[in-house]
Each structure stands twice: as C-alpha cells, then as structure tokens.
Amino acid sequence: MEDVQRIAKDVVETVAPYLEDVRVKVNTSCSQLEGWQIIAYTFGLTLILVSIYNFLFDEEKSLKARVKKSFFKFVKNLPIVKGMIQKEVDKNAKGVQESFQNATGGMPYVVQLPKKGMSEQQIMKELDKYQAMVEIDWSKGNVSGAVYNGSNELTEIITKAYKKFAWTNPLHPDLFPDIRKMEAEVVRMCCTMFNGDDNSCGTVTSGGTESILLACLAYRNMAKERGIRYPEIIAPITVHAAFDKAADFFHMKLTHIPVDPKTCKVDVNKMRRAINKNTCMLVGSAPQFPHGSIDNLEAIGALGVRYNVPVHTDCCLGGFLVPFMEKAGFDVPIVDFRVPGVTSISADTHKYGFAPKGSSVILYRNTEYRRGQFFVQPDWPGGIYASPTLAGNRAGAIIASCWASMMHFGEDGYVETTRKIIETTRYIADKLSKIEGIYVLGKPDVSVVAIASNDFNIFRLSDAMNGLGYSLSALQFPSSIHLCVTLLHTKPGAADTFLNNVRTCAAKIMKDPNAKCGGIGAIYGMSQSIPDRSMVSQIVGLFLDACYNTKDPEDSDKKVQKTNGVH
Ligand SMILES: *Cc1c(COP(=O)(O)O)cnc(C)c1O
C-alpha cells in the first residue's frame, strides 16, 4: 500500500508540467458549457474518483492481495491449466480418502438410522469397535498437545458432573439458576486469575476460537459505531489462525506484523508503525502457538494506551499455565489486566485447565467492551432474543464439567501441574538444543518447543518420529516442527524416551542429510512453494471433504498412507 502511494506521488510530480496545459484545455472546452453542466460533470467525476480511491485503498483486503487473487483466478481458468489442476486435485482427493478409510479398518459406514433402536448394551459394543480404530497411544505422551490431561480420576469427575447437568442450558437462566451461577463463577475465577478488578467480566465460550471471534466482533462493533468501515486488526504473524477466521467472518482487515527471527516475539516498533485510523485492536500472544514465545504485552499495552486502541492478550494456550508460573517458581512477563492497555484476554479451560473440549473463556476489562459481543434482536416474533455468545442453546453440562475441573485442581493443583509442565518443557528444550543437526526456535517461554534444522529437511525428522508412533505438529514459514508439552509428557520417563527417539532419528538422518523427504514433509515442502495460496486452500478443502466421506472403500488393501499434520 505504501508502495502504491509512493508511485502515485512520483506520477503526480512528473505530470506537473503538463497541468498548465490541462488547465488551458479544460477552460477552453468548458467555455461552451452551462453552469449546471459543469456541476453535473464535477459530481459524476467525483463519484468515479471516490470509487477508484475506495477500490485502491479502502477495502477489506489489500490491493496487492486482490490483484494477486484475480491474476491466479485468471490463470487457473485457462483450459490447459484447469485440466492439470483437476488431475492433481483428483489424485490428492483419492489419496486422502483412502488413508481415512484405512484408518477405520474398512468398517462399513452407517448411512441411515437403524430401523430399530439399539439397547445400551448393543451401543456400548458398537462404541468399543470404534474405539479400537485408534492407533497412536496418546496416553504415553507421544502426541503434541491434543490431550492435556487424560487421567482416569479426572475423567470420572468430569463425566459425573456432565451426567448431573446433562439437560441444563444457560440459554434459560430462569430454568437453570444452577448453571447460570456456575458460568458466572468460572468467569469470575478466571478474572481473578488474570488480576482483573471488580469491573472485569466475560463469558464462557465453546473454545479458544469462539473466544477470539467474540473479542474481534466486540472491537469491530465498537469501531463501526465510530464510523470505521473496515476495522483493522493488527497482530503478530505468529498469532493464531482464529484471528484470520474472525477477519474473514466479520469483514475486517488483518495486518500481520513480522516477529524478531531470533526471539520469535513480535516487532513492537513495526506494530506501532502499522497503526492507523482504522485500527480497532492490537493483539499479542501469551504464548503464541507455533514457537511458544510470549509477545511483549507490556509494550503492546503501552501502544494501546497511547493510541487509544484496545489490546487483546491471546492466552488461549497459556491460560492455565501463565497465571501460575510465578507461584510455580518461574520468571514470567506480565500479560494480564495489570498491563494498563490490555482490555481483553482469551483463556482456554479446555487446554491446560483440563476441562473437556468445548470450553474456554473470553474476559474483558469492563462490561462496555463485553457489550460489543452481545446480540439482541428485540423484534423477533419468537420473542425478544438475546444471546451473549455465538451460540444459541448451549451445553450447560460442559460448563458444569469445566467448573468441576477448576474446583478439583484449585490453585495449588494448577501450580503443581504448571511446575511439572514448564520444568519438562525446559528440560526437553535444553536437551534438544544439544542434538546435532537441529536447533530450537525462539525461546520456549511456556510449554511449546519448536525445532528446525539447517542441515536437513526437518519434516524428515517428523516422518521418522511418526514411524515410531509419535505425532508432532508441522509448522511452516519457516519449516519446523513442535512439541506442545502436556501433563502426559511429565510422566516419569516420557521426556527421556522422546529425546532418545529424536536423538536416534536425527543421527540417522544426518548420515544422509540431503536425502529426499516423503510423506507430510513432501506435502509441506510443496505447499509452501505454491505462490497461489488459494490452490493450497482448495486442496485442503478436499481433506475436509474427506473427513465427511461415508462411501465404503472400493478396495481396502490399498497401501496405508498417513495424513496427520493438518490441524
Ligand atoms: C488453541 C489456541 C487457540 C484456539 O483455540 P481452539 O480451542 O482451538 O479454538 C488460540 N490461540 C492459541 C495460542 C492456541 O493455542
């Protein structure tokens, strides 16, 4: 955008000598016109100029992104290219479908309701068959993130809480005062954890993504009130994709700010320079998902105060670690409501809060911000409709289970799990940094360790680890992989077994560092080099389609192909 403006300026300077000419010509040609005609033409021309200006600068997506998109759309519609793409797409689709079918062991799909309902016993027998499909044993700490606790004791507690409140629904606070109280208490306990004062508030949501969507929605609505057409989010490039989703859903612009390549923390100076009249929020992560470093939220908060822009702390991942780190004996930067500019915080109870999936909280400094996410339709024939979050009816049972987890652990419990998890992460990071051929990216401030390599394609390492029953997360730009440490990795021996396996795999790869990479590595290698990102989206769409495939395999003895690595 700045480039375009600079070019426009150059053009103006070179045409200046011609302007005099133009003036004379305009005057001569206008000498025949009547006053009303001049007014009408001026009006018409202004309209055209305003539309051109809007097309160039005042759109949701930058001009560069729109030009690029149109160009690729044009190329992709050329018949020869179209054919080639279709062939590639079909091949990919088939591969993904086959791998899913292999994973379900060729068990036929249920495609209609059973004619006769099943007894509990029959259902349980069926469910056991489904459960037998699982191959990777997450309970041994082989998986990055995904399952954060998994203990039998906690499973008992949360399922008992679920059972008690199975039919509750916070949409009806009059019917279910119990669940209303519990939701309010979950929010308040979190506000206290993040050092919010009496004015701090929030809601329980269905997950981190919803918490983030709601914060963006609230700030968008506040910006719209002030007359901003395309409110703009300014966030680090490492921020969670849920912010891209929010920008997409709510017609906002998202400007990504680069991070320092050494620390992987956002460059706050660049963030400051990106602030403009459309900016409706700044974001920092604590920590960010890819490399696990905590952005400098005190500096971002200061920008927020100085430019009067709300600041969101994405503490989805760190929600139940960061608030306990100090008590667990670790240094940790301040990222919560104690930072003057921070106006909202997202924290996932369903990650390190160990609640079942489907719960998170969004917190605000005061109710004015929270009001931005509420939806009220006063004119609906179905009654005055009001809902605090994206959903209408909500599962009270999930809130009850979340409440039960939090009450079960208590502050001491979370301090203890935090101590174990951070200690294990730092131990793993330290040992990984000593393995030849790989290096640790940024500084693992909390529970994530990301590694990359200057000597070989790092995805070969993740393929090799897959072969040993591990599942690590693939990252891109730059190519890297990470382990998100959960309570399961803190079990005695789990970290050392992991490290030994990495050591062995890396040593093997180092014997022939330039060998070709197959599997997930080949996919990520290829996908990162495709300039038309919409192609990648198209292919990933096939993956999502395949998740819902219920056609039985044509021939089930096709070779097994793994497809993990896409979140
Ligand atoms: C997990 C996560 C989110 C999104 O949460 P979901 O529960 O997947 O919706 C957002 N930000 C960060 C840093 C996360 O790790």
**Closest ligand 1 atom, CA of 317?**
15
Instruction: Supply 230's token pair.
Output: 């395309």
Tell me the pLDDT tens digit for each residue of 427-441. 999 999 999 999 999
- pLDDT band with cut points at 50, 70 and 90 for residue 553: low
Has residue 2 got a pLDDT over 80? no
Q: Transcribe 286-327 into DSSP letters.
A: SS-TTT-PPP-HHHHHHHHHHHT--EEEEETTTTTTHHHHTT
What pLDDT score does 357 carry? 96
Compute the distance from residue 415 Cα to the ligand 1 centre, in Å.
Answer: 21
Mean pLDDT of the chain: 91
Residue nearest to atom 15 of ligand 1 (CA): 317
The better pLDDT of the pair 209, 515 is held by 209
Three-state secondary structure call for residue 344: strand
Q: Name the strands in the sheet holding 480-484, side by side, starting at the edge strand that comes first in the sequence.
A: 439-440, 448-452, 480-484, 473-475
Instruction: Supply 152's token pair.
Output: 């039998």
Q: Which residue from 243, 348, 360, 447 has its CB within 8 A of the most atoms of ligand 1, so it is best to mutate?
A: 348
Nearest Cα residue to 1 out of 266, 216, 230: 230
Angle value at C-alpha 409, between 315 and 486, nearest 5 degrees? 55
Of 47-61, 251-265, 334-348, the one with minimum mean pLDDT is: 47-61
Which residues surround ligand 1 with Cβ inside 6 Å? 207-209, 212, 240, 242, 285, 288-289, 314, 316-317, 348, 360
Distance from C-alpha of 426 to C-alpha of 53, rounded to nearest angstrom: 52
Q: For residues 92-99, give the mean pLDDT.
A: 77
Percent of the chain at pLDDT exceeding 90? 69
Angle value at C-alpha 144, between 254 and 354, nearest 5 degrees? 85
- Strands 375-377, 385-387: pairing kind: antiparallel
Other residues' Cβ atoms within 10 Å of the Cβ of residue 512: 10
Which residues lie closer than 8 Å to 500 by C-beta, 6 or more apart? Answer: none
Which residues lie closer than 8 Å to 302 by C-beta, 6 or more apart? Answer: 340, 341
What pLDDT score does 562 carry? 42
| CB 503, CB 438: distance < 8 Å | no
Has residue 505 got a pLDDT over 80? yes
Compute the distance from residue 193 Cα to the ligand 1 centre, in Å.
Answer: 19
Has residue 15 got a pLDDT over 90? no
Residue nearest to atom 7 of ligand 1 (CA): 208
Tell me the pLDDT tens digit for each residue of 512-535. 988 887 776 777 777 777 777 887
What pLDDT score does 497 carry? 95
Q: Which residue from 211, 233, 293, 314 has its CB within 8 A of the most atoms of ligand 1, so it is best to mutate?
A: 314
Three-state secondary structure call for residue 205: strand
Tell me the pLDDT tens digit for each residue of 152-168. 999 999 999 999 999 99
| CB 378, CB 390: distance < 8 Å | no
Q: Transcribe 418-454 into DSSP letters.
A: HHHHHHHHHHHHHHHTTSTT-EE-S---SSEEEEE-S
Distance from C-alpha of 127 to C-alpha of 107, rounded to nearest angstrom: 13
Nearest Cα residue to 295 out of 327, 334, 324: 334
Instruction: Supply 17's token pair.
Output: 């000598």
What pLDDT score does 561 carry? 44
Phi/psi for 525 (5° steps) reads -60, -45
Tell me the pLDDT tens digit for each residue of 367-386. 999 999 999 999 999 999 99
- pLDDT band with cut points at 50, 70 and 90 for residue 285: very high
pTM of the entire structure? 0.86
Has residue 564 got a pLDDT over 70? no
Count Cα atoms within 13 angstroms, Cβ side, for 4.
10
What pLDDT score does 1 carry? 59
Distance from C-alpha of 299 to C-alpha of 297, rounded to nearest angstrom: 5
Distance from C-alpha of 539 to C-alpha of 564, rounded to nearest angstrom: 15
User: What's the count of helices (H) and strands (E) in the chain, helices before strands?
Assistant: 18, 13
Distance from C-alpha of 452 to C-alpha of 439, rounded to nearest angstrom: 6
